[in-house]
Structure 1
């Protein structure tokens, strides 16, 4: 049971999320941070490949490391976030992440850099990401009206994908100009900008609900119960988990595929990976329009059935004109994933009670993201056993197959997802 404290918050405006200064600052900070993160997504594996001559298995473990904390602290993180000021949690995570990343170039300059340090940095940054992602998703509904959540999430997703366009290309150029390790300082700076934007938000955040008779374990069980028993949340969570399993394997193998099979140089690799970000921008732009025309449930299924098969173009990529197959496949596939993600996240934020949003979010992400380290290890293992191109065929086929999970649940009979939580009884 919870007992809330009343607090006066800034009035929410009717001009959509843009009219709210707190949302604008959050958007600026998150866009900057995601830009740095996408630079690092290219640079950190390149550090391992070029400086430490890492094997496919090491790259797979390095890719999996940031996601492993979801398996360990994913559930309690939501319960803690529901007890703490969410903005303070986000600020703390930014500071820790910036400090850790700064140690990588410092170690490289002194000749002390090792694979173990890269894995440790990736792992602890993963812990910070667990808390930051949960807190940020629970924080957004306190900044804007519920009716604006779809548009607000679409803008955040669109900005994130814009960062995906610029980040990998910038990462490739930084690797050529400054070196992979030194280029990581860009991500350090991005965390500091994100923190400054959060500090400038003037809106009063509602105080965390005071726990009266609940324990941490009971809070965790409450969130997990909704995820496992509610038919709509369960279906969307299982879909996300399966999709992330295949995507994680794909992403773990992608750099090696582009370097060793397609034989692209670092600058071209950054541009190729950015194509997915272009698709993400398109997905973010259309994500709020699709539900209005087709409905949230029908729109989600349609998006996946239309876009997912384009993933099968990616394993066909090669030198010359065959690069276009990667560009088209990656762009359309990512557009569908982003549009689907906006619909799912907005549904969860409006569907769940505010005082439980942190727990439900972390429980859903625990299942969703818990498959990522498994997928990364599976992808790297398949690459070692089968080779890079056959592995890409297996993983991209898996991406297509996950759409069937949406058809197996209650969504196939609905136009719109429900707006009120279905009671879950013991």
Structure 2
């Protein structure tokens, strides 16, 4: 078993377990970003899915957070995390591999895509939740900040590379082969994670029921004067963002008839904006205050999202540029609010606070995807995109009418 070095000055990459953990996460994140494009494009190009069906597919991929999000947070605090991560990643890969196999056999249906999207979401939920608790055992608490910074930077880079590569893979190899690649990468990530050998602390024995522990985490979020407005603002933002994420591929490929690579470029430019926003987050928060930085980021994300409904072949690049500004606001917001959440939550409640926040954030993505599909079928894709942007534009309000309107908000 590998033990942590007492010399922490060299950073987390001096730890062999963290290097393996980082490699596994990089593989999984890249595969996930490729799959995020491949699945809806597979539905549209191979199975002739309409906007409502694509919206349902997007909703099912995140529905696990609504169904088992809170119990997953409490349960993973009671067991050793590495086996949970390995098993979840492996099962995620197997679920994905069933899709190209069914396509090759000529029996692939939308129903199978729906089931696989949900089961893959469940596996990803348990894997990500367990990783949050496993990281302190990998690097030690004294190196959590640089480790999280490295992982966040890699995650943003994975979005840029994965979405860009994903569009070209779908165009050159076909969507089923892109899904095949994602499945193989998820299984490989599980194999690499088995090599992360560290001594995990014994799971804490708890006499209280799981429901009581879940309730404590929920009360902490909604009873806190600063966490509560963050929760509501993020919920509104994600509720409006999900139609843009789900229906942009439908508009670009289905309505405009542009090549699949344009979908990858659209999301890649947005991800580059998110990276830029995350890089300036610390300086902006130090300059104008954390609360005002949150409000500025939320206003930026919502106001510039209104460009997306105007996507066209001639205006593709100008709209992409404005979309990058919107995603820059999202990247800025994520860094500032994540840091605040960690600072405002005791160690014993971090897992349950995270589970509660993820339930709200991802649940909003699920409901927004469903609403987007229904609205696109009832009206059209551009109308659904415009409604999503309008909802995003309201996300600043819970922050503006809270202690965050002051430079240095007080905790109550």
TM-score between the two structures when normalised by the length of structure 1: 0.89
Select the residue among 374, 383, 389 that pairs with 2:376. 383
Give the whole-Å Cα distance in 1 for the aligned partners of 2:214 and 2:38. Answer: 36
Q: Which piece of structure 1 moves more, 257-266 or 271-280?
A: 257-266
Structure 2 Cα separation of the partners of residues 239 and 12 of structure 1: 40
Which residue number corresponds to residue 357 of structure 2? 364
Partner deviation per Cα, 1:172-229 (whole Å, 9 max, x = no partner): 2222332211221221232134224433334323332111x21111111111111221
Alpha carbons of 1:189 and 1:147: their partners in 2 closer, same or farther (altered >3 Å)?
A: same
Shift of 1:27: 2.9
Quick one: distance in 2 between partners of 1:301 and 1:112?
49
- For 2:139 and 2:286, the matched residues in 1 are separated by 19
**Partner in structure 1 of residue 266 of structure 2:** 272
Deviation by residue 1:380-424 (Cα, 9 ceiling, x = unmatched): 111122212222222112212212221122222243686xxx7xx
Alignment pair present for 1:235 and 2:236: no
Is it true that 1:186 corresponds to 2:178 in the alignment?
no
Query: Which residue does the alignment assign to 1:300?
Result: 294
Q: Could you say if the C-alpha distance between residues 345 and 141 of structure 1 is closer, same or farther in structure 2, counting changes exceeding 3 Å? A: farther
Residue-by-residue CA offset, 1:36-64 (whole Å, 9 max, x unaligned): 11111111111111111112111111000
User: Greater CA deviation, 367-376 or 153-162?
Assistant: 153-162
Match of 2:52 in 1: 57
- The equivalent residue for 2:96 is 101
Mapped partners of 2:146, 2:133: distance in 1: 16
- What SS class does the counterpart of residue 211 from structure 2 fall into? helix
Structure 2 CA distance for partners of 1:207 and 1:201, relative to 1, 3 Å: same
Q: Which SS does the other structure have where 1:184 is aligned?
A: helix
State how far apart, in whole Å, the 1-side matches of 2:16 and 2:284 are. 27
> Is the Cα contact below 8 Å between 1:164 and 1:276 reproduced in 2?
no
Matches of residues 67-216 of structure 1 in structure 2 within 5 Å? 67-144=62-139, 149=144, 151-211=146-206, 213-216=207-210
8 Å contact kept, 1:154–1:288: no
Contact conserved, 1:23 with 1:144, CA < 8 A, in 2? yes
Residues 306 and 69 (structure 1 numbering): CA distance in 2 closer, same or farther, change over 3 Å?
closer
Q: CA–CA distance in 2 between the matches of 1:197 and 1:335?
A: 32
* Shift in alpha-carbon separation, 1:31–1:241, aligned structure 2, 3 A: same
RMSD: 2.3
Does residue 348 of structure 2 align to residue 355 of structure 1? yes
CA distance in 2, matches of 1:306, 1:367: 21
**Does structure 1 residue 257 correspond to structure 2 residue 251?**
yes
Long gaps (5+) in structure 1? 1-7
Task: Pick the aligned partner of 1:246 from 234, 240, 243.
Answer: 240
Residue ranges of structure 2 left out of the alignment (5+ in a row): none
Matched with 2:20 is 25
- Any idea what SS the aligned residue of 1:210 has? coil
Q: CA deviation at 1:15?
A: 4.2
Tell me whether 137-146 or 246-255 shows the greater mean CA deviation. Answer: 137-146
CA contact (8 A) 1:162 1:281 kept: yes
Distance 2:28 2:410 in 1: 32
2:398 to 390, 393, 405: 405
Mapped to 2, the partners of 1:180 and 1:17 lie a distance apart of 37
Partner SS for 1:203: coil
Alignment CA distance shift 1:16-1:343 (3 Å):
farther
1:35 paired residue among 30, 33, 42: 30
* Alpha carbons 2:4, 2:140 under 8 Å: kept: no
Q: 1:75 to 1:12 in 2, by over 3 A?
A: farther
Aligned to 2:326: 333
Cα distance, 1:238–1:84 mapped onto 2, change above 3 Å: same
- TM-superposed CA distance for 1:292, in Å, is 3.7
1:111-135: per-residue Cα shift (whole Å, max 9, x none)? Answer: 1111111111100111112212222
Asked if 1:392 corresponds to 2:396, the answer is no
Paired residues, number: 410
